[in-house]
Amino acid sequence: MQPVTHADASRKAPRVLVTGGAGFIGSHLVDALLEQGCDVTVIDDLSTGKRSNLPAHHERLRFIEADLTHALEAFGPGERFEQIYHLAAAVGVRLVVQKPAQSIETNVNQAAALLRFALNRSQDGSPVPTLIASSSEVYGKGIRTPFSEDDDVLYGPTTVSRWSYACSKAIDEYLALAHHHEDGLGVVVARFFNTIGPRQIGRYGMVVPRFVESALAGKDLEVHGDGEQSRCFCHVADIVDVLPKLLGNKACHGRVFNLGSAKSVTIIELARRVIEQTQSSAGIRRVEYEEVFGPGFEDLRRREPDLSRVCNATGWKPLRTLDESIRDIAAWMREGNRE
């Protein structure tokens, strides 16, 4: 691709780069940044995102469909930003199990390229404050519940690809924090715990949109294992509300933050809630993990975040309930938005 330059360097709107900005969380973040008056550049290869997630025409939005590393290399020297949000990544357990090599390379190589780019791309040539999207998967099997940011992590053997995603995201965190300590890069690491909402699809194993789509179609909801494993689900609108607050606060730079809800629900109860909120006649069908992911798949019984650090730093807490989130997803799907 040809070098990309900005046509009007005199504009005063804060210039923000969002990688993976056509994806589920990224597109909601872009909406919020545009509403705040930012001038937003999105880079997305549309491997899992969709162009229709973003406004078709907006004077302060620039969309670049490209591989992230190639796009960064093509930027001219005049490309400067006040903030960067790195949300481009491999997503979903199913994709990771099916294509582990691609997932590892995507997560590690793109994060490394993005962090190098951020080192001198502010208006004065200094490092650009950068938020790195990470995952609760980093905790691996976990050593206790709820998970706290400074807890030790525990992974399974390298022969089980299930844990490769966790390791790749951990490498991203190590690399980001290393650039903070060595180069003064203002990095914030956000560990997402089961973010849900409109624009999320179930193709890559995301349980809530998968359940909602089945319920709306009157098909049995497929629960993996015995259904007694528990998770915490947080509405994407709550998540994107706190991201600029974290990145804009220098006291948060060089730190890791759990982001999610502290209210857990078993997967079998989640299925019942989806059926209730969608007023569906669907039933529930249990399926063994081996049928879905193959032999040797391991899952956690509980995954719950300790949110005290983000609460103390920003005063943030999620406001929307699980039932509200389910209804929002169902309303979005009823408008014809599916896979």
**Long-range Cβ contacts of 156-159 (<8 Å, 24+ apart):** 156/298
Neighbouring C-alpha atoms within 13 Å toward the C-beta of 23:
24
The answer to whether residue 208 sits within a structural domain is: no
The answer to whether residue 123 sits within a structural domain is: yes
Strand partners, 131: 85, 188
Handedness of CA 128, 129, 135, 138 (dihedral sign): positive
Q: How many domains does the chain have?
A: 1
Count of C-beta atoms within a 10 Å radius of residue 74: 15
The answer to whether residue 240 sits within a structural domain is: yes
Q: Which domain holds residue 178?
A: 15-197+234-261+305-318
Name which of 338, 339, 224 is nearest 291 in CA terms. Answer: 224
The answer to whether residue 336 sits within a structural domain is: no
Name which of 205, 173, 243 is nearest 28 in CA terms. Answer: 243
Q: What are the pLDDT tens digits along the chain (339 aa)? A: 344 444 444 457 899 999 999 999 999 999 999 999 999 999 999 998 999 999 999 999 999 999 999 999 999 999 999 999 999 987 766 677 778 888 899 999 999 999 999 999 998 999 999 999 999 999 999 889 999 999 999 998 998 888 899 999 999 999 999 999 999 999 999 999 999 999 998 876 689 999 999 999 999 999 998 999 999 999 999 999 999 999 999 999 999 999 999 999 999 999 999 999 999 999 999 998 777 776 666 777 889 999 999 999 999 999 999 999 999 999 999 998 766
- Are β-strands 255-259 and 195-196 bridged in parallel, bridged antiparallel, or unpaired? unpaired
User: Maximum distance among all alpha carbons in the chain?
Assistant: 60
- Return the axis-axis angle of helices 322-334 and 207-216, rounded to nearest 10°: 60
The answer to whether residue 122 sits within a structural domain is: yes
The answer to whether residue 295 sits within a structural domain is: no
C-beta of residue 2 within 8 angstroms of C-beta of residue 73: no
The set of catalytic residues is 165
The answer to whether residue 191 sits within a structural domain is: yes
Question: Can you list the positions of beta strands (E) in 173-283?
Answer: 187-192, 195-196, 221-224, 230-232, 234-235, 255-259, 264-266
Start-end of H helices in 248-320: 267-278, 289-293, 308-314
The answer to whether residue 62 sits within a structural domain is: yes
76 Rama class: left (phi>0) / alpha (psi -120 to 50) / beta: beta
3-state class (DSSP) for residue 44: strand
For the record, the structure tokens of 111 come out as 């994060």
3-state class (DSSP) for residue 45: coil
**CATH code, 164:** 3.40.50.720
Cα–Cα distance measured from residue 50 to residue 38, given in angstroms and rounded to the nearest whole number: 21
